[in-house]
Structure 1
Amino acid sequence: MKPTKATLRTGLLVVLLASLCLPATAGSLRERLSQRRAAAGLDAVDTTPATIPPGVRVLRDVPYGGDPAQRMDVYLPAQGTTRAPVIFMVHGGGWARGDKAMRSVVENKVARWVPRGFVLISANYRMLPGTRPIEQARDVARAMAMAQGRAAGWGADRDRFILMGHSAGAHLVGLLAAEPALAYDRGALPWLGTVSLDSAALNVVAIMQGPHLPLYAAAFGDDPAYWRAASPLQQLKARGVPFLAVCSTRRQASCPQARQFATKANGLHMRTQVLGEDLTHRQINEQLGAPGDYTAQVETFLATLDPVVARRLNGRR
């Protein structure tokens, strides 16, 4: 039967409306996916190299093992220093990507703290798929042990290390803080304190028992025994060094897990603080060291760790 003009007009109207709706639907879907990725901490990895300010000297790719990934960069005051406190930084990237020299990892931190007489070390580690998180934590421990052993030659103090990590790196330093034997077994000495920058993997068991993104499955697999062994919350059984958990209030899981960890730690008489910030996952990392209240609050915690750290944060040697 030949279609009427009214039928044709109706069909054209349907097609037109559909074509108008498609971009909005696609845009909405892209927005939801973007929000979900951001909530999970999957910001795009920033591959921009950091700008190093005058007065800072860098030792690149110092080895701590035989694998090409087992390297660290050491940022030193160019004029030299003695018995400097050390901030030992561990990058994130979903246990599978990222790099020690990324701008968001080191630029503001180096600019803020090295001129004040700190040494900042940024370490790479072996990653997925070849190396799983517990062994990655052991890589971090090996790197710290090597750095502590060489500290005097860099004008640093092996007894004044502060362990800091972002995202997956925050999980790794959290695991070492909860189970320091992982570090001591690799030759590391005790450190002053730990700063976890927006980890949403402090309770690996809870993550894996519920709906979770593929990156967690790739990292932690399907063995509940491994989940427990890789989970800072489950491994926390005794008092450790002071712990600061910075978390993004824009993410669903980050601050609740930080508070859960802090509650258990404080019950063990381990001094633990949660600092919620209205920043994205990436901003938690890259804005630390930039002037402002966020950096000031982190420095307030750092100053409680040691009198020398407090003096240098205040610009006094």
Structure 2
Amino acid sequence: MRPAAQALIAAAALAVLASPILAQQRRGEERLPASCRQEVVRLCGINRGQIAACLREKYAELSEGCQAELRQRIEARGGREGARRGGAAMASSPALAPQQTLAYGSDPLQALDLWVPEGRPAPLVLFVHGGGWSRGSKSNAVGRVLPGHLLAQGYAFASIDYRLVPAARVEDQAADVAAALAHLLARADALGIDRTRVVLTGHSAGAHLVALVGTDETYLRAAGLSLADIDGVMPNDGAAYDVAQQLALAGPQMRGTYEQAFGSDPARHKALSPIAHAAAPNAPAFLLLHVQRPDAAAQSKALAEALRKAGAEAEVSGFPGEGLRGHMEINRNLGQPDYPATPVMDAWLKKVLGGQAKFTKLTL
């Protein structure tokens, strides 16, 4: 079954589940376990109108146990045929399985998935997932079109896990981004990566983290690297480049997320704001993507302006899409040939990384 068809089936199944997930189940139906309901709330909030769309986007970020519970409800509601179709969709294999999974640290979350094209050495694009700094996983990239699209362009692609709030701090997460990159570059020859051509990208909270690593060299230096090891940074629809401003403007639905991640200390807010580090040195080139969310648009433009003043090349590109739906769509669709942001990304990567890899044979 094609991934697009699987996604449609999953969407239909989750739409059936969305309204009663947080409420009392139908007569004869067992409620979702409290732990699973709490996972859904942490991941998607309590707005029932958005739960189906959110779960369709982020189902892979739920624990295996919660995924199994949801599949059981599909079976109970839809009968054997519904279970066959819905369960197959939700448990389907990714569109492009990673070629390798590597550990870059001792914590179970310090791991990454890697894809490398046949022609090597290949420029590297490293992806950092979103999830409000407290959830999400590297599988956020799996099943999207982005890995396959970039492989076809001749780029290696890595998607990383990192330690999550509240067990870890945002500072630890930025350190994990740098450590994952250092791990790959230290093994570049064996992996088929061109260590001289590197771009960092990330969505949502991941956009903030790559922007922070691309402006505050502290994290790279601690991993034995420097900003000279990065050719460009492509944050995708982030909205915490100025943490204090984001906290001041955040609505009640998101305020808790930002407070959990960044706390209440103004000095820490500044230290974790990429815009506060925009004075040189920085990564040499930035492409800030956003949909029509007011905070993401405003913060992207402000960061780009600050970077330009410091001498970095910084481009901003906005695309259709509003609210949570638009925020999810740009992550899901980036890499689709007909999605407006894809040719913008492709042209920028070609400019920053010099086009496709210079393919050479490498014996391991």
Give the alignment's TM-score, normalised by structure 1.
Answer: 0.79
Structure-to-structure mapping, 1:38-187, within 5 angstroms? 45-47=58-60, 51-53=94-96, 58-60=99-101, 62-77=102-117, 80-103=118-141, 107-187=144-224
Q: Distance in 1 between matches of 2:149 and 2:249?
A: 40
Q: Distance in 2 between matches of 1:86 and 1:33?
A: 38
Q: What's the secondary structure of 2:214's corresponding residue?
A: helix
**Residues 88-130 of structure 1 deviation map (CA, whole Å, 9 limit, x = unaligned):** 0100000011110135x66211111113322111000000111
Q: Distance in 1 between matches of 2:103 and 2:120?
A: 23
TM-superposed deviation, 1:165? 0.5
8 Å Cα contact 1:201/1:231 also seen in 2 = yes
- In structure 1, give the amino acid aligned to 2:261: A
8 Å Cα contact 1:165/1:195 also seen in 2 = yes
- Unmatched runs of 5 consecutive residues or more in structure 2: 1-45, 61-89
TM-superposed deviation, 1:184? 2.3
What RMSD over aligned residues (CA atoms) do the two structures have, in Å?
Answer: 2.7
Q: What's the secondary structure of 1:219's corresponding residue?
A: helix
Partner of 1:217: 259
**Residues 237-261 of structure 1 deviation map (CA, whole Å, 9 limit, x = unaligned):** 2142201100111x12001000011
8 Å Cα contact 1:85/1:157 also seen in 2 = yes
Q: What's the secondary structure of 1:96's corresponding residue?
A: coil
TM-superposed deviation, 1:35? 8.5
8 Å Cα contact 2:95/2:143 also seen in 1 = no
Q: What's the secondary structure of 2:99's corresponding residue?
A: strand
8 Å Cα contact 2:129/2:205 also seen in 1 = yes
Partner of 1:246: 289
Of all paired residues, the percent bearing the same amino acid is: 30
Partner of 2:38: none
**Structure possessing the higher radius of gyration over alpha carbons:** 1
Q: Distance in 2 between matches of 1:36 and 1:58?
A: 34
8 Å Cα contact 1:239/1:265 also seen in 2 = no
Match of 1:255 among 292, 297, 300: 297
**Residues 269-317 of structure 1 deviation map (CA, whole Å, 9 limit, x = unaligned):** 110000101131111111111112320011111111132xx245xx998
Partner of 1:208: 247
Match of 2:348 among 282, 301, 317: 301
Q: Distance in 1 between matches of 2:194 and 2:57?
A: 35
Q: Distance in 1 between matches of 2:240 and 2:49?
A: 19
Partner of 1:28: none
- Unmatched runs of 5 consecutive residues or more in structure 1: 1-31
Give the structure, 1 or 2, with the largest relative contact order (CA under 8 Å, sep 6 or more). Answer: 1
8 Å Cα contact 1:194/1:242 also seen in 2 = yes
Give the alignment's TM-score, normalised by structure 2.
Answer: 0.69
